[in-house]
Structure 1
Amino acid sequence: MSASYSSPTERVQTWLEGSTLHIRFNNPVKHNALSVDMWGAVPPLLAQAADDDRVRLVAFSGAGEKAFVSGADISQFEDMRAAKAAVAKYEVLAEEALTGIHEFAKPTLSCIRGYCIGGGVNVAIACDIRIASTDSVFAIPAARLGLGYRYSAMKNLVDLVGPGAAKDLFFTARRIDAREAKDIGLVTRVCEPDQLPQLLAEYTTAMDQNAPLTIRTAKAITREILKPSPDLDLESCKRMILGCFESEDYTEGRRAFMEKRKPVFTGR
């Protein structure tokens, strides 16, 4: 690993390989579930990479073979997300990391194997490109937890797969395999697990050899094309999201998740 890049937590590994900066989520005991320190490690690494002319691609992956990111670190779920202030803190950290990925001027890629659930999907769809092995599994289980889902993540999902597929995934909270994920446009390319390193190398080589200014310009123009309407009511969206986190349903969803039972929601 390059001494020029250092993560503030051992649960995020980073190294520079050629012109690719690798950022690997390293919490394999918990299927790379995202803890607060893991979210917090991403923005400073991206800030450093933005000013590093050696970096032409940032590639995200998960340690081990079972998961890219399986969601939130449940050991922190009660402490960090139960109280209103804790919810706000967690959401700010996650939003900063995801916004940092989405707005990063250089190309970004998620290399997915295994579980890509909740926050894992958010990381993946914040990236420009997603490649996945055939043993990957995708889901957005917010509706089973009573979570409020931030506008930016919903927009990224709708922009990527369209409103119909986005609502299907979100409303049902069902799991889909890599083939269906590719069919709906959630991932770009799929390969057998043993071929994933080779597929990743195809992208790292392309980004190393192709013109970086052309690529960055194309990314910037695409972002302009996808900008939201000026009539958007963001404040209303924020109030509704906060209302979810302050609801009895969220308390029930959180408890049911930790107790490994089905939640009973009342709509309050």
Structure 2
Amino acid sequence: MSILEISSQLINVLVTVEDEIALVKINRPKALNALNNDTLSDLNKIFDCIAEDDSVRGVIITGEGKGFVAGADIVQMQGYKSIEGRKYAALAQMIFNKIENLEKPVISAVNGYALGGGCELSLSCDIRIASTKAVFGQPEVGLGVIPCFGGTQRLPRLIGSGIAKELIYTGRQVKAEEALYVGLVNKVVEPELLIEEAKNMMKTILKNASLAIGFAKVAINRGLEMDIDNGLELEKDMAALSFATDDKDEGMRAFVEKRPAVFKNK
């Protein structure tokens, strides 16, 4: 099924494709785009479709209104007990893993509140660009629970365990400039420039060989879970795959001939 066909079936997510870039917008602004089951289901469907669609080479995720994603849906969760809570966490983790492991670059354009599950969604992306109005946080302990959409694992891997523990234990919110300072985001821009900046960065990325980017993403993501020796073995394996592509031949030929490479993603 095409992205156009899938997008017509979605409830809380809008999707457009332009210049080989899919813009995925969480569209539940009255709830600050909180992640209920319908929204998670939408994300699951669209990322399955994006993974299979060769016409899409990169993805940008953002939110409608004042929120990127202001967290999981507390109204939905408040009646959950142990089993239901674990199933909800498993569902969100499965989808966020799918985003993280997509062999295409994913940028989160964080336009506003990225709290709880919203912060965790941004963590599953490769690169985070924040509006000056963006606010990050993991406030779950104030609700009597812990981050469970990947926050206890991805946040310390990104910014270090000390700062991650401070943010998770205190539940305090972090504005864009502090998020940049601690390494939670890559860049901060004015709100009106956010999507343009994300698109420009993605276009710069997509000038390069998409297969090589995918191999590099696998090497980085999986390598973070390995010791250095196994990580280097993985790097050699991914390099070997890249050397077998037509894009490698084109890229090196273009370099020798002093001309821009024309990659065909083969």
- TM-score, normalized by length of structure 1? 0.79
State the one-letter code of the partner of 1:161.
I
Partner of 1:198: 196
Q: Secondary structure at the match of 1:199?
A: helix
Name the counterpart of 2:56. 55
Q: Secondary structure at the match of 1:132?
A: strand
Deviation at 1:144, TM superposition (A): 0.7
The equivalent residue for 2:7 is 6
Aligned to 1:102, which of 97, 100, 103? 100
Deviation readout 1:187-223 (Å, 9 max, x if unpaired): 0100111221221221231233221122112111101
Residue 155 (structure 1) aligned with residue 153 (structure 2): yes
Q: Deviations over 1:26-71 (max 9, x none)?
A: 110011111111112222221221121111111111012x110001
Q: Which moved more, 1:214-223 or 1:87-96?
A: 87-96
What runs of 5+ residues in structure 1 fail to find an aligned partner? Answer: 230-268
CA distance in structure 1 between the partners assigned to 2:12 and 2:133 by the alignment: 23
Shift of 1:92: 2.1
Judging changes above 3 Å, is the alpha-carbon distance between structure 1 residues 31 and 73 closer, same or farther for their aligned structure 2 residues?
same
Q: Give me the whole-angstrom Cα distance separating, in 2, the residues matched to 1:166 and 1:123.
A: 16
Contact map agreement 1:5 1:15 (CA 8 A) in 2: no
Distance apart, 1:8 and its partner CA: 4.0
Corresponding letter in the other structure for 1:214: A
> What is the root-mean-square deviation of aligned Cα atoms in Å?
1.9
1:4, distance to aligned residue in structure 2 (A): 4.4
Partner-residue secondary structure (3-state), 1:60 = strand
Closer, same or farther: CA 166–228 of 1 in aligned 2, 3 Å: farther
Conserved? CA contact 2:15–2:25, under 8 Å: yes
Aligned to 2:31: 30
- Aligned counterparts of 2:3 and 2:101: Cα–Cα separation in 1: 25
Deviates more, 1:122-131 or 1:12-21: 12-21
The one-letter amino acid of 2:217's match is K
Identity rate, percent? 35
* Structure having the higher Rg: 2
199-208 or 213-222: bigger deviation: 199-208
> Corresponding residue for 1:182?
180
With a CA cutoff of 8 Å and minimum separation of 6, indicate the structure with the bigger relative contact order: 1
- Aligned residue type for 2:208: N
**Aligned mate of 2:110, from 89, 109, 112:** 112
Distance 1:42 1:2 in 2: 12
Q: 1:168 deviation in Å?
A: 1.3
How far, CA to CA, are the matches of 2:43 and 2:8 in structure 1?
8
